[in-house]
Amino acid sequence: MTTLIKNALIIPMTKRNFFFTGDILIKDGKIARAEKNIEEKADEVIDASSMIALPSFVNAHTHLSMVLMRNYKDTCENLQAWLSEIFPIEDKLNDEDIYQSSRLGCAELIDSGCTVFADMYFNAWETVKAVKEAGIRGIIGQTFMNDGNDAEWRIKNLSPRILEAIGDDDMFRLDAAVHAVYTATPDCYRVAAEWVKERGVYLNTHLSETKKENDDCMKTYGMSPAALIESTGAFSVPAYAAHSVYLSDEDMDILSRNHVSAVYNPSSNMKLASGVAKIREMKAKGINIALGTDGASSNNNLSMIKEMNIGALLQTVSTMTPSAATPYDILEMATINGAKAIGLDKRIGTIECGKDADITLINTDDVNMAPLNDPLSALVFSADRKNVDTVFCRGRKVKEHGLLTTIDKNEAISKTKERWEDILKR
């Protein structure tokens, strides 16, 4: 199967602020050519004259099934108060809850141009099932909490179920998702890191999300969360760390020398009054910075387009410097930097020959996008989910002309509503 995208404004994300008008040829799920005026026969030709073509977005940190708790407990004072409301709900969740809400989460990701996400949640075998139906990629997290013994139990009893659900499907990877230093002991991190090393995967964790987390860690262990995690060996394996708000210069050095990626979650950090990540300082230290939505209960959506907009504006107002995070910087976080964070940059994240055809077409022929002027600025400051016209994942259209092709959106909505009503009665 070959598809030829013609006359698109292509932002390949291979060179800073570079874009051109041209064509993209997709063969057998991969990008065969991306250049001006391709004259080659194809099974399908798409006229993308009014479209921007860019790599599909990478959501480097979320909790997919938490769409169940969207718009729930939105005015808690801080993260800890919010978690005290959320944990009791999570204790009630079952497989069907996770499956149905994961389907809705996948629909929302696709709808906003995202084809891969890094997840951290429970009953992940059900999320795998939903993602397979959706036809996108999933970096699934085996959650770790509590102590080392509990970590060993999860490896023995839960991981096999997730791996069985994944099978030999290379659209998935199972990472270790250690919740945080305030819910997992150093021994838990050690066990998880050894498991990661044995399997050749990545470690995913929340890091320095709040000042309280940092202060409590200093009181308990005499060191920052970053220093504590490094001391366990959990940063000696490939790792990415969500939030990374309260990092000292020394903490940033820890991430930098261990090649740990930071994942910026601006909406969640604003909503829970957590703080603002120091993007400029981390970049200066050579830290790779990705972008994530966090869960829809602390966001309240999974739109990477909205996250880009908020992420840019938050950096501007917090530093009083409009160039603190330029549109291209933000687009990097949402595409190639996200791919680097989760170890998929050889396969996705840019529009280059030989890479998988994960491509999103953005319609610029709409009231909120005209006149286009600077397409980079347009994507970060003007675009909306409604502008996402077509989305490819490995060359397969998972959204076409505004309509999802793999998931019945209305069914996913109604089923998730049913599950939530049932949860509230339990």
Q: Using pLDDT thresholds of 50, 70 and 90, give the confidence band for residue 45.
A: very high
Angle at 101 between CA 84 and CA 305, to 5 degrees: 90
125-139, pLDDT tens digit by residue?
Answer: 999 999 999 999 999
How far, in Å, CA of 265 to CA of 284, rounded? Answer: 19
Residue-wise pLDDT tens digits, 343-368: 999 999 999 999 999 999 999 999 99
CA 154, CA 239: separation in Å to the nearest integer? Answer: 20
Q: How confident is the model at residue 146 (pLDDT cuts 50, 70, 90)?
A: very high
The pLDDT of residue 14 is 98
Tokens for 343? 């170890």
Give the model's confidence band at 192: pLDDT under 50 very low, under 70 low, under 90 confident, else very high: very high
Q: What is the pLDDT of residues 244-286, one digit of tens each?
A: 999 999 999 999 999 999 999 999 999 999 999 999 999 999 9
Do 345 and 394 touch, CB atoms closer than 8 A? no
Q: How many CB atoms lie within 10 A of CB 367?
A: 6
Span 237-246, average pLDDT:
98
Structure tokens at 153: 């139990």
Q: Is the pTM of this model over 0.75?
A: yes
Give CA separation, 401 vs 19, 356, 409, in Å: 23, 21, 15
Position 54 scores a pLDDT of 98
Span 107-128, mean pLDDT?
A: 98
Reading the block at residue 275, the tokens are: 């703080």
Mean pLDDT over all residues of the chain? 97
- Tell me the C-alpha distance between 127 and 140, whole Å: 8
Instruction: With residue 261 as reference, give the H or E element that holds it.
Output: strand 261-264
Tokens coding 365:
């022929």
Q: How far apart are CA 389 and CA 53, in angstroms?
A: 10
CB distance 406 to 134 below 8 Å: yes
pLDDT reported for residue 279: 98
- For residue 267, the surrounding DSSP H or E stretch is helix 266-271
Per-residue 3-state assignment (H helix, E strand, C coil) for 158-209: CHHHHHHHHCCCCCEEEEEEECCCCCECHHHHHHHHHHHHHHCCCEEEEECC
Alpha carbon of residue 264 to chain centroid:
10
Cα 385 to the chain's mean position, in Å? Answer: 16
Confidence band, pLDDT 50/70/90 cuts, at residue 229? very high
The pLDDT of residue 224 = 98
